[in-house]
Amino acid sequence: MEIAEVLRLAGEAGVSGLPDLDLLSVGQVWPVGDRWVAEVGRGRARYARTGGTDPMFESMAEALAAVFGDLQLRRTELAQRLAGHEDQRVNALGGAVSRCAPPQVQVWDSVGQKDPRVVTGSV
């Protein structure tokens, strides 16, 4: 099952306040000078939650870890919320979240790179 399907079914069952699909499935990492930016989502992307407010990292690996960690946290929060629901159909969707396809992160390895490469991570 895809994460989009989980969100659709939960919404149809009356669950409100569901997160945006992009905040559960995609991110971006790119260089700025000698540091790396990590964002989650697409469009109105948000910086990866790292316990601080600085979205900058010393290495690409740290930035990727921050994005995948954030996506994992968001998926875990969704799974817990759905698993605790009184409707058994919604409750079952909580377990389905961990079986969804892994997120994809677009990575620009250099400032001049035109098209990003896609890194698929397991969360």
Consecutive H or E run containing 120: strand 117-120
State the Cα–Cα distance between residues 44 and 3, nearest whole angstrom: 19
Burial 33-60 (b: 16+ CB within 10 A, else e): eeebbbbbbeeebebbbbeeeebbbeeb
Q: Is the pTM of this model over 0.85?
A: yes
Write the pLDDT tens digit of every residue in 27-48.
999 999 999 988 888 866 677 6
Please compute the mean of the pLDDT values over residues 67-83 and round it to a whole number. Answer: 94
Which residue bears the tokens 């968001």?
74
> Does residue 89 register a pLDDT over 70?
yes
Please compute the mean of the pLDDT values over residues 56-84 and round it to a whole number. Answer: 93
- For residue 123, name the pLDDT band (cuts at 50, 70, 90): very low
State the Cα–Cα distance between residues 24 and 40, nearest whole angstrom: 8
Please compute the mean of the pLDDT values over residues 2-12 and round it to a whole number. Answer: 96
CA distances 12 to 5, 9, 16, 21, 121, Å, are 10, 5, 9, 15, 28
